[in-house]
């Protein structure tokens, strides 16, 4: 018995190639950046009457052009870019001020600058401030949390207390609060 197919032909590298692999892909000419940013509905692809053009390029040139919308970049992207440039410039100035010797700063014409002590003090204070914020927020949350004996730990103005005792023993579709006395009765009372 002669084998007609082998697994080698099934697992050949050409089996998993994309559909148009090995064929020339003809695309219409891409528009330039100035034509994309243009507001008018002028034709982007120039008319060409040469026969050497592909049919796709001719069809795209003959197609009705829709007006291109103005590209709008949100303002927060500009703000972020300016913030990036400003912070990079500030760090570069800080780095040069903290590491260049005084003689080189004077030769550059920079004679008025803070003491070098601030180059170490400000980052240290900033690091301590960040660590202090964690403890300050922890303490603030402890002060605004009511005690366990406070009635707001049991119920509040937005509670939806179920008045039907049949709902207390079975599940419901609605979100309901069971009275605390009934919860204690169900959980802790032994009969």
What is residue 161's three-state secondary structure? Answer: strand
Domain boundaries, the chain: 7-62, 73-113, 117-145, 151-188
Question: How many angstroms separate the first and last alpha carbons of the chain?
Answer: 82
Tell if the pTM clears 0.85, that is, is over it.
no
- Cβ 61 vs Cβ 30: under 8 Å: no
The CA-based angle 156-162-167, given to 5 degrees, is 145
Bridge partner residues of 177 (DSSP)? 161
pLDDT tens for each residue of the chain, 191 residues long: 555 555 555 555 555 555 555 665 565 666 665 566 665 554 445 555 555 566 666 666 655 565 555 566 667 788 889 999 999 999 999 999 899 999 998 998 888 888 889 999 999 999 999 999 999 999 999 998 888 888 777 777 788 777 777 766 666 666 777 777 878 888 888 76
């Amino acid at each position: 018995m002669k084998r007609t197919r082998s697994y080698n032909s099934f697992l050949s590298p050409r089996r998993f190639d994309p559909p148009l692999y090995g064929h020339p892909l003809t695309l219409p000419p891409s528009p330039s950046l100035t034509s994309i940013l243009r507001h008018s509905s002028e034709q982007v692809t120039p008319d060409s009457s040469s026969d050497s053009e592909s049919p796709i390029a001719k069809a795209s040139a003959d197609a009705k052009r829709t007006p291109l919308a103005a590209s709008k970049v949100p303002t927060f992207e500009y703000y972020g870019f300016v913030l990036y440039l400003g912070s990079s410039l500030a760090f570069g100035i800080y780095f040069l001020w903290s590491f260049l010797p005084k003689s080189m700063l004077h030769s550059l014409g920079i004679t008025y600058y803070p003491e070098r002590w601030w180059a170490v003090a400000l980052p240290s204070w900033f690091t301590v401030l960040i660590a202090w914020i964690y403890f300050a927020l922890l303490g603030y949350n402890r002060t605004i949390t009511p005690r366990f004996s406070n009635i707001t730990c049991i119920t509040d103005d937005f509670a939806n207390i179920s008045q039907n005792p049949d709902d207390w023993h079975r599940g419901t579709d609605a979100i309901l609060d069971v009275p605390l006395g009934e919860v204690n009765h169900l959980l802790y009372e032994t009969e």
